[in-house]
Amino acid sequence: MDIHEYQAKELFRKAGIPVPPGDVARTADEAEALARALGGSVVVKAQVHTGGRGKAGGVKLASSAEEAREHAEAILGMEINGLTVHKVLVTPAEDIASEAYVGVLVDRKKQSATFMVSPEGGVDIEQVAEDNPDAILKMPIDPRYGLLPHQAYRMSTFLYDDPKLVKQASKIMGQLYRAFNENSCSLAEINPLIVTPDDEVKAIDAKVTIDDNALPRLPEVEAYRDTDAEPPSETKAREASLSFVKLDGNVGCCVNGAGLAMATMDLVKYYGGDPANFLDIGGSSNPEKVIAALEIITADPNVKVILFNIFGGITRCDDVANGIVEATKQIDIEPPIYIRLTGTNEDEALQILKDAGFSAYTSMDEVVETAVNFAAQA
Amino acid sequence: MSIFIDTSTRLVVQGITGRDGSFHTRQMVAAGTNVVAGVTPGKGGQTFETDQGGIPIFNTMDEAVEATQANASVVYVPPAFASGAIMEAADSGVDLVVAITEGIPVLDMTRAFAFTQDRDVRLLGPNCPGLISPGKGKVGIIPEQITAEGPVGVVSRSGTLTYEAVHQLTQAGIGQTTCVGIGGDPIIGTNFIDCLAAFSEDPDTRAVVMIGEIGGTDEQEAAQWVSENMEIPVVGFIAGQTAPPGRTMGHAGAIISGSSGTAEEKIRVFEENGIAVARRPVDIRDLIKEALGL
């Protein structure tokens, strides 16, 4: 789960990391009041779960509370990468002598948390990795021992020469690692970590992604979830325990298993179609889940045809068949449904569907090709 | 022959009395697996009944291993307790721990994986379907009826997509030595290379199917390893050609980060290293037939 910058800064503050003050505003009035309280010279920053806010005009410097109000008016309601801005962060403008990058993430190759630091901050770190890989130091952290003092010192001296700065940075690394661990992050990033003209090291931007698997034990972090920041279909899917990602095509897909769901989308493309979504209904496919899945898929006006691809292992095909029949009784579904079922209780499932007037297939290629052809003519 | 499990495997089921654990224990027993014990804290002394007789339940892995000389375990414990169960198993003297559980926090796994490595215990998973050696037994949840004995090794990050591929092989009359699901999480124990190396040493495996997906670089490293070390043919498939970047596609590990981990990149590296890549799942069957000279 991605959280907003202002929420990430709250977690950082709790861990002791020096973060400038500031608060979030939902209206231009609130933004103006916050700016006034902060002395007028502020930055107004769009709070959305996407990068490139600055380039899109979602981050603006103001020299007075009135100007902050104007910026907030312009930014609130703006769309950045398809996401609407509902909140802005108002925070003091800082004088910057230098900018660095400090991040911790889970490195799959090292199979551990790994720090990445660079004296080239304030820019896209992936770009730095491409253009100037020597400007990045990577430090894998052994989960048995955590971040060790010599590692924090080594990274800090990679960023700074001045011992005063090295000392502050070492402390921040330790605090960042603690925040990363205590909040079960998959990413915790300070970009940039700045040095002010009077030699103070501070985090002026924060980006945190929380491991979804850890959310059940982190109720305070779960409370950061902002359902305004995601499409309604994804909120509904999460509440029904379905894995769902909306795409732009017109072939609605409902599959059991993530790998098979991706392979089904790929096959739609192979036969010349475009998938409308990724949807994994998971292992135990009770009728309620199938109904929720069909509601989510049919809410997308682009969908011209619905494709089921079920490989019964743990999932019983007859459960899914019953779910489809039940769902079509409960909700009005306009696009035709093409169904492929094979595996556990396949014969029972085919009978259930036949009795209800559906036709079903047992080959994945056949059903995908048929559904794609229908969508092309619709 | 087979890899990682065979007829000498003596299995403990951790979480044997839970919904998934109890269902799959009966399936594993029916597939010929020697399930010697179950563990559920607080239910020690009870017996788990199956058609082939009762299985004793213990409170701890230590007691189970001491009483039954078990050498492998399978974990069906809920996610909040699963990393603890993995470490308990690794401390009990078994050589193989198969973690089926989906949804274990990633940082828990970094610790549990290091713990198993320190004790030289093979961990398979988590968030995996386990493995099956047709005719010898299975550990996990792969449906036995879609498999058959034969010369092909299968290794995959996926569950149902693997079933699809295996089902098509079996229907075409091509059986398997062992089918292994390594799991869809970012941190997993046994990886592609571990499985490929084991298949290379298995005299009965004459070709291997490797099924990958978007995210990470495991497939790319495995492809490099194949070109340097494998003598038997490998056929590949990568799921997620239509996946958008930056989104998790069901499996926690299936995510394109920036520009790395795309299906295009993986397919290219497979082909550069002499691995024939199936464009559709159904093409896996035909490429394997070709590889086996059928």
Q: What pairs with residue B140 in β-bridges?
A: B130
Q: Are residues A239 and A369 part of one domain?
A: yes
**Position A300 pLDDT exceeds 70:** yes
pLDDT of residue A75: 97
pLDDT value at residue A280:
94
Question: Quick one: CA dihedral B211, B219, B195, A141, positive or negative?
Answer: negative
Residue from B164, B168, B218, B262 to probe the interface with A (highest A Cβ count within 10 Å): B164
pLDDT at residue A282 tops 90: no
Is the model more confident about A369 or about A316? A369
- Fold held by B11-124: Rossmann fold (3.40.50)
| A210 & A252 share domain | no
Shortest distance between the Cα of B53 and any Cα of chain A, in A, equals 23
Q: Where are the domains of chain B?
A: 11-124, 147-291
Q: How far is CA B26 from the centre of its chain?
A: 19
Q: Is the Cα torsion angle A356, A362, A364, A365 positive or negative in sign?
A: negative
A244's tokens: 């769902």
Return the SS3 of A190: strand
In DSSP terms, which residues pair with A187 in a beta bridge? Answer: A105, A209
pLDDT value at residue B260: 81
Contact A280, A229 (CB under 8 A): no
Q: What is the mean pLDDT of residues A294-310?
A: 95
Structure tokens at A26: 């939902």
> At residue A284, what are phi and psi to the nearest 5 degrees?
-95, 100
- Could you tell me the CATH number of the domain that includes residue A134? 3.30.470.20
Matching residue, tokens 């096959």:
A267
- Region of A184 (left: φ > 0; alpha: ψ -120 to 50; beta: rest) is left
State both tokens at B282: 């159904």
Pair A311, A344 in one domain: yes
B282 in reach of chain A (CB within 8 A): yes
The predicted-structure confidence for A316-332, as pLDDT tens digits, reads as follows 888 899 989 998 898 88
Helix (H) or strand (E) holding A78: none
End residue of a domain, out of A92, A118, A141: A92
Give A343's contacts in chain B (Cβ within 8 Å).
Answer: 143, 146, 163, 167
> Is B241 within 8 Å of A269 when comparing Cβ atoms?
yes
Residues A217 and A258 in one domain: no
Q: Is the pLDDT of residue A285 over 70?
A: no
Question: Per the CB < 8 Å rule, is B146 touching A343?
Answer: yes
Q: Looking at the structure, do residues A112 and A75 belong to the same domain, yes or no?
A: no
- Nearest C-alpha of chain A: how many angstroms from B95? 21
Q: Which of A42, A57, A92 marks a domain boundary?
A: A92
Per-residue pLDDT tens over the stretch B151-193: 999 999 999 999 999 999 999 999 999 999 999 999 999 999 9
At residue A314, does pLDDT exceed 90?
Answer: no
Give domain status of residue A6, yes or no.
no
Side chain identity at residue B54, one-letter code: G
Residue where the block lists tokens 């968030």 = B127
Residue B119 pLDDT class (50, 70, 90 cuts): very high
User: In chain A, which residue ranges form alpha helices assigned H by DSSP?
Assistant: 5-14, 28-37, 65-75, 125-131, 149-159, 163-182, 219-222, 232-239, 258-270, 287-298, 317-330, 346-355, 364-377
The domain in which residue A29 lies consists of 21-92
Q: In what order do the strands lie in the sheet with A59-62?
A: A23-25, A88-92, A42-46, A59-62
A282 vs A207, more confident:
A207
CATH number at residue A72: 3.30.1490.20
CATH number of A320's domain: 3.40.50.261
- The predicted structure's pLDDT at residue A92: 97
Q: How many CB pairs under 8 A join A and B?
A: 167
Three-state SS at A11? helix
B1 in contact with A, Cβ within 8 Å: no
Residues A151 and A261 in one domain: no
A180: closest chain B residue by CA? B107
Query: Which of A46-55, A167-176, B230-239 is the least confident region?
Result: A46-55
Indicate the pLDDT class of residue B37, thresholds 50, 70 and 90.
Answer: very high
Q: Which of B141, B156, B239 sits opposite A314 (nearest CB)?
A: B141
Residue A277 token pair: 């979504």
| pLDDT, tens only, A31-48 | 999 999 999 999 999 999
Compute the average pLDDT of residues B97-114.
96
Reference A24, options A3, A55, A51; nearest CA is A3
State the CATH architecture for B147-291: 3-Layer(aba) Sandwich (3.40)
Instruction: Indicate if the pLDDT at residue A283 is higher than 80.
Output: no
Q: Virtual CA dihedral for A5, B102, B5, B41, nearest 10 degrees? A: 120
Q: Kindly tell me the number of DSSP H helices and DSSP E strands found in chain A.
A: 13, 18
Please report where in the chains the tokens 């309601």 appear, as a residue. A77
Detail the DSSP E strand segments found in chain B: 11-14, 35-39, 47-50, 53-58, 72-75, 96-99, 122-124, 130-133, 137-140, 149-156, 176-181, 207-213, 234-239, 276-277
- Higher per-residue confidence, B259 vs B49: B49
Q: Which residue has the tokens 């828990």?
A: B108
- Is A360 within a domain? yes
Same domain, yes or no: A237 and A373: yes
Residues in chain B: 294
A231 versus B263: the higher-pLDDT residue is B263
This model of the complex carries an ipTM of 0.93
Region B230-236 average pLDDT: 97
Inter-chain residue contact A258 with B186, CB threshold 8 Å: no
Per-residue burial over B232-241, b if 16 or more Cβ lie within 10 Å, else e, is bbbbbbbbbb
How far apart CA A290 and CA A142 sit, in angstroms, is: 43
**Residues A108 and A85 reside in one and the same domain:** no
- Looking at residues A20-24, what average pLDDT do you find? 96
According to the model, what pLDDT value does residue A284 have?
63
Average pLDDT, chain A: 94
Cβ distance A111 to B216 less than 8 Å, yes or no, reads no
| Residues A92-116 pLDDT 10s | 999 999 999 999 999 998 999 999 9
Domain co-membership, A205 together with A83: no
Identify whether the C-beta of residue B292 lies closer than 8 Å to the C-beta of residue B285: no
pLDDT in tens, B236-284: 999 999 999 888 898 888 888 777 899 999 999 999 999 999 999 999 9
Rg (chain A; Cα; Å): 25
In a domain, A11, yes or no: no
**Residue A235 CB-half CA count within 13 A:** 8
Same domain, A164 and A108: yes
Does A272 lie in the same domain as A217?
A: no
Angstrom distances, CA of residue B209 to CA of A82, B134, B138, B180: 40, 16, 19, 10
pLDDT band (50, 70, 90) for residue A228: confident
- Identical fold at B11-124 and B147-291? yes
Identity of residue A81: N
Per the structure, the count of domains in chain A is 3
Q: Check if B86 contacts A (Cβ < 8 Å).
A: no
Asked whether residue A197 falls in the same domain as residue A217, the answer is yes
**Hey, CA dihedral for B161, B165, B170, B172, is it positive or negative?**
positive
pLDDT digits (tens, 9 = 90+) for A318-367: 889 998 999 889 888 999 999 999 988 889 999 999 999 998 998 999 99
Residue A52 has pLDDT above 90, yes or no: no
A342, B126, B209, B240 from B166: Cα distances, Å: 13, 21, 9, 19
